[in-house]
């Protein structure tokens, strides 16, 4: 728990994020981030598609507080939509509202997201609004509600560690939803803190939306959850075209290919220069993720202080330049 807290704090450190962008994909991030530009992302998605795996593409970026930067991010997401269409990729889009202006002005953010969703609609591309930390959740759902009045190619994610998620999923049963456990630090006032409580709520949310919802994306690397879902859909005669399994790019790749042989499967594909926060949250989620990254980079086990050392290294390098 201490290590997780340290990593989560590092993920929100703007100085380290700036330094990470200067030094590129170092210290293992290249194994879980599909490049820094559109062409590298296209190449990665084509490889997934060749194995029967779809993709949801996240042009990395979040917590933007400048309108110019938010507009640039919106334009780059439109370029991703063009790339999906032009290269005939089996893929859709994931967008963090804070990347396109949620922390600046909700109407400004809505206008940017409406442009993205409207542009994607003409190519029959789905757009998922990623839910972020708790303080940004209700504004995100408010924007989704307004978009759903006009478009049917937009949905969001439901985070199982939040107390309110059962109510939210009932209100959003007509949306395509991604069900996740949650990846941010939240207080005990709004979120379960115990892993068992989160797991139980996760399964209950999945089952509810499978039975009552539109389309369900089940985002997990947990083989126990996957086996439970397999039994549940079989017992309730839920067709394969009503749900998909999702995993993150670079994790459990053999299992991804195996699941894709029998079910709809989608990989969450992040790319871009603003990779640091995403990378650190993935390390914070599960200690196994650190082992995976270190094995892929060094082909040997290193200790679980890698991420802390990475932050210190980047900070030290930046300080020496001053």
| Domain co-membership, 127 together with 222 | yes
pLDDT of 18 above 60: no
Select from 257, 274, 291 the last residue of a domain. 274
* pLDDT at residue 102 greater than cutoff 80: yes
Q: Where are the alpha helices (DSSP H) in 136-222?
A: 137-148, 165-171, 195-212
Same domain, 135 and 269: yes
Q: Are residues 296 and 233 in the same domain?
A: no
- pLDDT at res. 309: 46
Asked whether residue 321 carries a pLDDT value surpassing 70, the answer given is: no
63/187 same-domain check: yes
pLDDT beyond 80 at 14: no
**Are 50 and 136 in a shared domain?**
yes
165 and 309 co-located in one domain:
no
269 and 291 assigned to the same domain: no
At residue 254 the predicted structure's pLDDT band, cuts being 50, 70 and 90, is very high
The CA-atom distances, in angstroms, between 258 and each of 32, 40, 179 are: 19, 24, 21
Determine contact, residues 28/239, Cβ cutoff 8 Å.
no
Beta-sheet strands, E only, within the chain: 54-59, 91-95, 127-129, 154-159, 176-180, 215-219, 243-248, 265-271
Domain shared by 206 and 246, yes or no: yes
Encode pLDDT of 146-169 as tens digits. Answer: 999 999 999 999 999 999 999 999
Q: What angle do CA 20, 22, 25 make, to 5 degrees?
A: 55
- Among the residue ranges 125-139, 204-218, 300-314, the one predicted with the least confidence is 300-314
- The pTM (predicted TM-score) of the whole model is 0.82
Beta bridge pairs of residue 270: 58
Regarding predicted confidence, which is higher, 284 or 53? 53
Active site residue 252: no
pLDDT at 295: 52
Residue 291: pLDDT over 60: no
CATH for 255: 3.20.20.220
Domain count, the chain: 2
Measured distance between the N- and C-terminal CA atoms of the chain, rounded to whole angstroms? 34
Phi, psi at 216, each rounded to 5°: -120, 125
The overall average pLDDT reported for the chain is 85
Give the residue numbers spanning the domain of 12: 1-26+275-322
Q: For residue 178, indicate whether it is catalytic.
A: yes
What would the two tokens of residue 84 be?
């999906």
- Residues near 275 by beta carbon (within 8 Å), at least 6 away in sequence: 20, 21, 25, 29, 33, 36, 60
Quick: pLDDT tens for 198-224. Answer: 999 999 999 999 999 999 999 999 999
pLDDT over 50 at 48, yes or no: yes
Give the residue, 277 or 104, on which the prediction is more confident.
104
Q: Are 189 and 95 members of one domain?
A: yes
Clarify whether residues 116 and 75 are in a common domain.
Answer: yes
Last residue of a domain, one of 258, 274, 290: 274
Report the pLDDT value the prediction gives residue 318, as an integer from 0 to 100.
46
Q: State the Cα–Cα distance between residues 113 and 132, nearest whole angstrom.
A: 15
Same domain, 65 and 151: yes
Q: Do residues 270 and 287 both lie within one domain?
A: no
**Exactly one of 136, 176, 178, 281 is catalytic; which is it?**
178
Asked if residue 128 has pLDDT above 70, the reply is: yes
d(CA 318, CA 195): 37
What is the per-residue pLDDT for 62? 77
* pLDDT > 70? residue 99: yes
Compute the distance between CA of residue 177 and CA of residue 206 in angstroms, rounded to an integer.
Answer: 10
CB 166 within 8 A of CB 187: no
Q: What is the pLDDT of residues 171-190, one digit of tens each?
A: 999 999 999 999 888 999 99
* CA distance linking residue 290 with residue 274, whole number of Å: 20
Q: Please pick, among 58, 59, 103, 130, the residue that the annotation labels catalytic.
A: 130
pLDDT at 308: 46
């Amino acid at each position: 728990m201490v290590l997780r807290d340290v990593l989560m704090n590092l993920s929100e450190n703007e100085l380290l994020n700036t330094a990470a962008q200067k030094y590129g994909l170092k210290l293992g991030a290249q194994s879980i981030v599909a490049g820094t530009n559109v062409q590298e992302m296209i190449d990665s998605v084509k490889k997934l598609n060749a194995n029967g795996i779809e993709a949801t593409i996240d042009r990395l970026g979040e917590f933007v507080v400048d309108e110019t930067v938010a507009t640039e991010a919106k334009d780059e997401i439109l370029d991703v939509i063009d790339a999906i269409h032009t290269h005939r990729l089996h893929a859709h889009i994931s967008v963090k509202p804070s990347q396109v202006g949620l922390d600046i002005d909700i109407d400004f953010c809505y206008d940017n997201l409406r442009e993205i969703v409207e542009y994607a609609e003409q190519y029959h591309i789905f757009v998922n609004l990623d839910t972020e930390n708790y303080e940004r959740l209700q504004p995100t759902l408010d924007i989704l509600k307004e978009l759903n009045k006009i478009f049917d190619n937009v949905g969001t994610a439901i985070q199982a560690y939040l107390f309110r998620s059962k109510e939210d999923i009932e209100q959003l049963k007509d949306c395509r939803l991604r069900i996740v456990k949650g990846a941010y630090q939240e207080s005990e006032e709004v979120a379960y803190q115990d892993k068992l409580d989160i797991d139980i709520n996760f399964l209950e949310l999945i089952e509810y939306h499978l039975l009552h919802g539109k389309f369900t994306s089940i985002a997990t690397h947990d083989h126990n959850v996957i086996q439970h879902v397999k039994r549940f859909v079989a017992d309730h005669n839920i067709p394969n075209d009503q749900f998909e399994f999702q995993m993150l790019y670079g994790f459990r790749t053999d299992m991804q290919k195996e699941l894709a042989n029998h079910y709809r499967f989608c990989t969450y594909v992040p790319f871009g220069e603003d990779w640091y926060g995403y990378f650190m949250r993935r390390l914070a989620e599960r200690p196994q993720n650190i082992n995976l990254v270190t094995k892929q980079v060094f082909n040997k086990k290193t200790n679980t202080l890698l991420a802390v050392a990475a932050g210190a290294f980047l900070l030290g390098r930046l300080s020496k330049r001053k």
